[in-house]
Structure 1
């Protein structure tokens, strides 16, 4: 059983809310109180000054309560407690966070937010591992190249997206990320991708769709988007400000009003 033993009201509130949301059996005691016989994990704050030799002790600040509860649950289930983040890349990547064999968090966010989410989830996790699917070449390369500080594996994501029954549309990317997290991949530090003409055209088309003034970025900017150096919105702003040309002017200085072919 998990015991929350703290005088930190904020940690108490956050930890209890997290445990209740997960349907976990737990109890609470004062830091100077006696632990129940069934205690296997104690959660407390650094300010409580507690120390235990015979149970797992998770010391966590209130703002990291969710990660503390995840660590407690991993210990309770006798897993190895390793954090593995699976990513199904795309314009809105599915992200699944596993501690041992347990899925503790899931996200479905725009690609621009994905790296920040992943970094936050692995920030305090020892020996964390990020596994990125290889299906979307450009988006997976962007993610891998921006996660230089993390241990990253690239995973063959063939067959990782499950059949989706009625009522679960939109969950495919997240469920694929769970499966990717559970597959061994190849350790990588970077991924160099030469975008195809079709991929560059899709980026240019997206820029026109996102532009408020019917503007299409040029191929140079599209390549910078493909490499992850710029987002589409940043490329549009660069094109609009005319700062991408060789002499400080834009490639044509004007919006590209003719449709791309």
Structure 2
């Protein structure tokens, strides 16, 4: 059983909410109170003194998870990390942490410890690598498995994870049939299946956009600007690489055009400045 023992109000409520969402069996006690007989894991805060008290009880075999050891963590982030660590300790397994990524403009991301899914996410492509790094930073031997679809987005994720072991996975058949009420879950469920499928270890992925992909991005820019603007190939390539959205590329195109127009107007108004 998990026991929550903290006087930190924000941390307490975040922990209780997460544990209820996970369906975990838990109870709460004051930090200085005796632990219930069936206690297996205690989640506590850095200032509660529980870890020190239990360390002095040499006969205790209770696992202690201290939430909030990272100074930058808010209560919710500290609670999430602590609950994941507590669930792993409760299972008593030493399963490897594997992160599955279903690439796209909003990748699905699933974190597994052993064969158990401990957390799932779906975030914009620009946030995916930072999230994956955050999820594996405390793992002893993490592995990231990235689906080989959505070639350009997949390449960006693989190449940006240059400090983490990465496998490229054949994602054929990883997206399940979505029945009633499951709409929008496909990318996350595909990420779970990708995490469970062995792939090929890679150090990077070099994929250039095809001429057709570049043309589709340029056409999309014209649609979004109501026929006013078509971005150039250089900007379209940056969109294909995930560096810019089409809207951002349009804004950059307009900024450049305005700067060029201002320069031309200044030259007309100041003919003496010409060489």
TM-score, with length taken from structure 2: 0.80
| Structure 2 residue corresponding to 1:110, chosen from 106, 124, 127 | 124
1:249 Cα deviation from its structure 2 partner: 6.0
Question: Does the CA-based 8 Å contact 1:112-1:231 persist in structure 2?
Answer: no
Pair 1:15–1:82, CA change in 2 (3 A): farther
1:157 Cα deviation from its structure 2 partner: 0.8
SS at match of 1:194: coil
Question: Does the CA-based 8 Å contact 2:159-2:205 persist in structure 1?
Answer: yes
Distance in 2 separating the partners of 1:225 and 1:169: 27
SS at match of 1:154: strand
State the partner residue of 1:57: 64
Question: Does the CA-based 8 Å contact 2:67-2:78 persist in structure 1?
Answer: yes
1:76 Cα deviation from its structure 2 partner: 1.1
1:15-34 alpha-carbon deviations (Å, 9 max, x no partner) = 11111122211011222221
- For residues 1-261 of structure 1, the aligned pairs below 5 Å read 1-49=1-49, 50-51=51-52, 52=54, 54-61=61-68, 62=75, 63-211=77-225, 214-242=228-256
Q: Which runs of 5+ in 2 are unaligned?
A: 55-59, 69-74, 265-275
Pair 1:149–1:172, CA change in 2 (3 A): same
SS at match of 1:71: helix
Pair 1:2–1:209, CA change in 2 (3 A): farther
1:110 Cα deviation from its structure 2 partner: 3.0
SS at match of 1:48: coil
1:82 Cα deviation from its structure 2 partner: 3.7
1:126 Cα deviation from its structure 2 partner: 4.0
Pair 1:190–1:5, CA change in 2 (3 A): same
Question: Does the CA-based 8 Å contact 2:126-2:242 persist in structure 1?
Answer: no
| Structure of higher CA gyration radius | 2
Q: Which moved more, 1:221-230 or 1:17-26?
A: 221-230
Distance in 2 separating the partners of 1:212 and 1:69: 49
1:45-65 alpha-carbon deviations (Å, 9 max, x no partner) = 111232445121111113410
TM-score, with length taken from structure 1: 0.84
Question: Does the CA-based 8 Å contact 1:70-1:99 persist in structure 2?
Answer: no
Question: Does the CA-based 8 Å contact 1:130-1:152 persist in structure 2?
Answer: yes
Distance in 1 separating the partners of 2:248 and 2:133: 22
1:200-241 alpha-carbon deviations (Å, 9 max, x no partner) = 122223323444673221112212222334333332222222
- Alignment root-mean-square deviation, CA: 2.5
- Structure with bigger helix share is 2
1:121 Cα deviation from its structure 2 partner: 3.0
Pair 1:79–1:211, CA change in 2 (3 A): farther
Pair 1:79–1:205, CA change in 2 (3 A): farther
Paired positions, count: 247
